[in-house]
Amino acid sequence: MFKYSLDNKRYYTLNYYYKKKYGCKVFKVSLNAGFTCPNIDGTKGTGGCSYCLNGSGEKITTNDLVKQFNNVKEIMLKKWPTSKYIGYFQANTNTYAPLKELKEKYELILKQEGVVGLNIATRPDSISNDVYDYLEELNKRTDLVIELGLQTTNPKTAKLINRCSTLDEFETCLNELNKRNINVVVHIINGLPYETKEDMINTVKYLSNKKILGVKIHMLHILKDTNMFKQYLKKPWHILTKKEYVDIVCDQLEYLREDIVINRITGDPIKEELVEPEWLIKKFGVLNEIDKEMVRRNSYQGIKFEE
């Protein structure tokens, strides 16, 4: 068994990380705090990243964050009655607001019973100096993780998907968070338009030599009403098959440092909004295929890592 797993996985699971840290089940409560994004409001760009629905993440069922939190918490408690919670500010860019507003929303969730920390999803070009200072202070009193969207290290792909942030901006942000000892999880996407297997592995090799807590590996899913869907209709590109995706992910795991926590290893799209790939709907089938392939290879996370 891989040393960072409780369930025969051959990679460092988030479940293992939380169980070892807290001694119980910990789950994330996804929140939509109503923030926008500099790639939507015209500051950096418009339309958002091409795969984005301009409001990805949990849809707002209520503007009341506490109600949002309790709605999810009540569902989870039925399955795990002794759990603890992480408030996950997921939708859009969650440091892109005045400091006063950020404090009000973050602190409100931290006050909820059973909350042990916050995960805050943002862009590497969207943390101001006063917010960095606040995050540093916040990190001293709760389990804080900043989730940064990188997606790819290939600049041509970044331009094609309208990311509107650079690798230099990512490095500057990561270095600033590292200086303040704030944990970072990085999002990457496999199957972006015209990317090769080498491109996807190069993104992982780059991250393996950075000071990060974890990664989220997504499979690109093309959703209705996105700019990417319009691009795909005009000029379709190859969509990874499940077999190709599994092969690439297993290669990526082999190159990832063994102490990097795998927070996610496949996408989880809403069926009604998904255009491609249809195989992504059966999430557990993808997870099982990854497990089987790692066993077939007799391989583990980090086996090919090189500094």
For residue 49, tell me if it sits in a domain: yes
- Contacting residues for 126 by C-beta, under 8 A, at least 6 apart: 37, 38, 93, 95, 96
Q: Would you say residue 59 has pLDDT above 80?
A: no
Is 164 within a domain?
Answer: yes
More confidently predicted of 279 and 62: 279
Predicted confidence at residue 1, as pLDDT, reads 66
Confidence at 199, pLDDT banded by 50, 70, 90: very high
Angle, CA 191 vertex, CA 187 and CA 193 arms, to 5°: 110
Whether the predicted pLDDT of 57 surpasses 80? no
pLDDT at position 109 over 70: yes
pLDDT at 198 over 80: yes
- The pLDDT assigned to 42 comes to 86
The neighbouring-strand residues paired with 264 are 216
- The pTM score is 0.94
- Domain of 219: which CATH number? 3.20.20.70
pLDDT confidence tier of residue 46, bands split at 50, 70 and 90:
confident
Residue 105 lies in a domain: yes
Is the sign of the CA dihedral 28, 142, 71, 54 positive or negative? negative
Establish if 303 belongs to a structural domain: no
Residue 43, domain extent: 14-297
Q: CB neighbours of 1 closer than 8 A, spacing ≥ 6?
A: 8
Domain count, the chain: 1
Task: Note the pLDDT tens digit of each residue in 227-254.
Answer: 999 999 999 999 999 999 999 999 999 9
| Per-residue pLDDT tens digits for 95-105 | 999 999 999 99
Is residue 113 assigned to a domain?
yes
Q: What percent of the chain clears pLDDT 90, i.e. is strictly above it?
A: 78
Distance CA(161)–CA(36), nearest Å, equals 18
The answer, yes or no, to whether residue 60 has pLDDT greater than 80, is no
What would the pLDDT profile of 112-158 be if each residue is shown by its tens digit? 999 999 999 999 999 999 999 999 999 999 999 999 999 999 999 99
| Mean pLDDT score, 271-296 | 93
Residue 180 located in a structural domain? yes
Contacts of 279 (CB under 8 A, 6+ apart): 241, 242, 285, 286
pLDDT of residue 79: 86
For residue 106, being part of any structural domain is answered with: yes
DSSP string, the chain: --TT-SSS-SS-BHHHHHHHHHSS-EEEEEE------TTTSSSS-SS-STT--SS-SS--S-S-HHHHHHHHHHHHHHH-TT-EEEEEE-SS-TT-S-HHHHHHHHHHHHTSTTEEEEEEEE-TT---HHHHHHHHHHHTTSEEEEEEEEE-S-HHHHHHTT----HHHHHHHHHHHHHTT-EEEEEEEES-TT--HHHHHHHHHHHHTS--SEEEEEE--EETTSHHHHHHHHS--PPPPHHHHHHHHHHHHHHS-TTSEEEESS----GGGEEE-GGGG-HHHHHHHHHHHHHHHT--TTTT---
Counting every residue written for the chain, the total comes to 307
Would 199 be classed as within a structural domain? Answer: yes
Is the per-residue pLDDT at 285 higher than 90?
yes
Q: What is the pLDDT of residue 204?
A: 98
